Amino acid sequence: MIVAQEKIQWQESLENLPRKRKLSPKKKNPHILKWALILVLVTAVAGSIGALTVQLTVAKGAQVRALEKEITGLKVHNDLLQLEVDKLRSVSRIESAALAMGMEKPAGTVYVSGNLPAVKNDSGAQAAQNAADSPPAKTSALKQASRLFTGFFASTQR
């Protein structure tokens, strides 16, 4: 096998050799600084809006929790007041308070007619009884019938 040799001449001139490019310093682009400043401003505005939103959310959440606690307290207070009202409205308490004031418990069931006029003196009582027996002509037939019906049951209870 035969191999050809390559001759290298050491005395070649530097001008014939391929040159490496020298890196020239890059000129700073003024637009890059402008865009960097805009990016910083946009980031600052977005960050401040985000921080404000978080702060408002936390503050409103605290207000909601405080109002919920107040509502719970008011509901408990309302329930206590309702229990007190129920206790004061109880029939047994009213009976004991009436007896303590000197009132007497009725012996039987008493029905009172709602149509009786107020009596001021004894002579007016007779006129009121006569007025109750004969209804005025201007009342309707339904009212007259209801008076007779009520009067009948009221008289049977006496």
Range of the domain at 74: 32-92
Rounded Cα distance, 144 and 158, in Å: 21
Q: What angle do CA 114, 144, 146 make, to 5 degrees?
A: 50
**CA–CA gap between residue 82 and residue 69 (Å, rounded):** 20
108: DSSP letter: S
Residue 8 forms part of a structural domain: no
Three-state DSSP state, 153: helix
Q: Is pLDDT above 60 for 34?
A: yes
Indicate the burial class of 50 (C-beta count within 10 angstroms; 0-12, 13-18, 19 or more).
exposed
Question: 3-class SS at 11?
Answer: coil
Percent above pLDDT 70 for the chain? 61
* 157 vs 92, higher pLDDT: 92
Number of separate domains in the chain: 1
pLDDT of residue 158: 47
Between CA 41 and CA 43, with CA 42 as vertex, the angle to 5 degrees is 90
Is the pLDDT reported for residue 60 higher than 70?
Answer: yes
> How does pLDDT run across 3-29, given as a tens digit for each residue?
666 666 556 565 665 666 666 666 666
Average pLDDT over residues 90-107: 87
Identify the weakest region by mean pLDDT among 84-93, 101-110, 122-131.
Answer: 122-131
Residue 23 lies inside a defined structural domain of this protein: no
Overall pTM surpassing 0.95 (yes/no): no
Give me the residue label for tokens 């209870």. Answer: 157
Which residue did the predictor score with more confidence, 158 or 129?
129
At CA 109, angle to CA 106 and CA 110, rounded to 5? 85
Instruction: Please indicate, yes or no, if residue 75 is contained in any of the structural domains.
Output: yes
Residue 157 clears pLDDT 60, i.e. is over it? no
In a domain? residue 76: yes
Query: CA-CA distance, 95 to 6, in Å (whole number)?
Result: 135
Name the residue with higher pLDDT: 9 or 79: 79
- Split at pLDDT 50, 70, 90, the class of 104 is confident
Q: Evaluate whether residue 132 is within a structural domain.
A: no
* Residue 53 counted as domain residue: yes
Name the pLDDT band for 32 (thresholds 50, 70, 90). confident
The span from the CA of 133 to the CA of 113, in Å, is 13
- Whether 61 is in a domain gets the answer yes
Asked if residue 51 is part of any domain, the answer here is yes
